[in-house]
C-alpha cells in the first residue's frame, strides 16, 4: 500500500510539481489549496503533510498547530515548503511541530529526500 501524503499550497503549479514527483516516487497524493481545505480533507491514514506557510483562509503555521492538536494526526510529520526563510518564522514552525523546512524554489529531489527521511516503512 502506497504511503499517503497531503500537499497543501495555494499555488496549483507547486502542488502539481510536488505531486508529480511524489507520485512517480510511489506515493499516493492528496491535494488541498489552503489550511481550511486541508483540515476538511484529513481522513484515514496520512503518512506526511507538506504545507506552504503563506496561504489564504488559513496559513501553514495555523494548519500545523491544528493538525498537531488533532488526536489522530498529532504524530504525522509535517514539512514546510515555502518562500519564507527567516529564522523567526522557521523557529515558529519548529515550535509548532514542523520536522523539515524547504525553501522555494525547490528541487523535487531535495523534497523527495526529506520525505524519505520522515516517512518510515
| pLDDT range class, residue 1, cuts 50, 70, 90 | confident
Is the preceding omega at residue 97 within 30 degrees of 0, hence cis? no
Q: Kindly list the structural domains of the chain, giving each domain's residue range(s) and its CATH number in brackets, ordered by start.
A: 4-118 (3.40.50.2300)
CB 11 within 8 Å of CB 101: no
- What's the pLDDT score for residue 120? 74
pLDDT at 50 over 70: yes
b/e map 26-58, b = 16+ CB within 10 Å: ebebbbbbbbbbbbeebeeebbbbbbbbebeeb
pLDDT at 23 over 80: yes
Provide the grid cell at 118: 520522515
β-sheet bridge partners, residue 29: 5
The pTM of this model reads: 0.95
% of the chain beyond a pLDDT of 70: 99
* Separation of alpha carbons 85 and 22, rounded Å: 23
Amino acid at each position: 500500500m502506497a504511503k499517503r501524503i497531503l500537499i497543501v499550497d495555494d499555488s496549483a503549479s507547486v502542488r502539481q510539481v510536488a505531486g508529480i514527483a511524489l507520485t512517480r516516487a510511489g506515493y499516493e497524493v492528496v491535494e488541498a489549496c489552503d489550511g481550511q481545505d486541508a483540515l476538511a480533507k484529513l481522513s484515514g491514514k496520512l503518512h506526511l503533510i507538506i504545507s506552504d506557510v503563506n496561504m489564504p483562509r488559513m496559513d501553514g503555521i495555523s494548519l500545523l498547530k491544528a493538525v498537531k492538536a488533532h488526536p489522530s494526526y498529532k504524530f504525522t510529520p509535517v514539512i514546510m515548503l515555502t518562500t519564507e526563510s527567516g529564522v523567526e518564522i522557521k523557529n515558529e514552525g519548529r515550535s509548532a511541530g514542523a520536522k523539515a523546512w524547504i525553501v522555494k524554489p525547490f528541487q523535487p529531489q531535495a523534497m523527495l529526500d526529506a520525505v524519505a527521511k520522515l516517512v518510515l516503512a
